[in-house]
Amino acid sequence: MYAVMEDGKTRRRGVYGVFAVDQKGNAQRFTSAIVSAYNVQIAPCGVFGGDMFVAGKTNFNQTGNSIWRVSPAGDVTEFAAATRDTDLLIFTFGPDGAIYVPEYSMRDKEVIVNRISEVGQLVER
């Protein structure tokens, strides 16, 4: 099982990020590349190579959150970045295997749901 912690307002480095939790409840940092995280999901049924996806930051000075693709070995690559004046915090996998990412635009006061296919391209907005 994996668990995530976001940085909140205290900025206590070392407490936040992505952790692997074993069957006894012991947590160990899974990757040091992501310092703050809000959401973690593993791609279902082998789509996206069965990789893990995390909404978060790779440094505390990063404005906004990205969605990071994390391999089973812990390698991290940016998968999706916010567009316009938005922040990516929430995403889910749909029954079609695509990732659905809502973006709330404070400027336009609207929510746009993006659908990202397995090939990593935006296919519907």
In this prediction, residues 18-38 reach a mean pLDDT of 86
12 occurs within a structural domain: yes
Containing structural domain, residue 15: 2-92
84 occurs within a structural domain: yes
76 occurs within a structural domain: yes
What does the pLDDT look like over 4-22, one tens digit per residue?
777 665 555 556 788 788 8
46 occurs within a structural domain: yes
For the sheet containing 110-116, what is the strand order? Answer: 92-93, 99-105, 110-116, 122-124
User: Considering its fold, how many domains does the chain have in total?
Assistant: 1
Q: Which helix (H) or strand (E) element contains residue 92? A: strand 92-93
In this prediction, residues 75-94 reach a mean pLDDT of 80
Look up residue 81 and give its DSSP letter: -
44 occurs within a structural domain: yes
43 occurs within a structural domain: yes
16 occurs within a structural domain: yes
- Residue 70 has a pLDDT of 92
How far apart, in whole angstroms, are the C-alpha atoms of residue 79 and residue 91?
Answer: 12
Whole-prediction pTM: 0.77
Q: Which helix (H) or strand (E) element contains residue 110? A: strand 110-116
100 pLDDT more than 70? yes
109 occurs within a structural domain: no
Among residues of the chain, what percentage have pLDDT more than 70?
81
How far apart, in whole angstroms, are the C-alpha atoms of residue 123 and residue 125?
Answer: 7
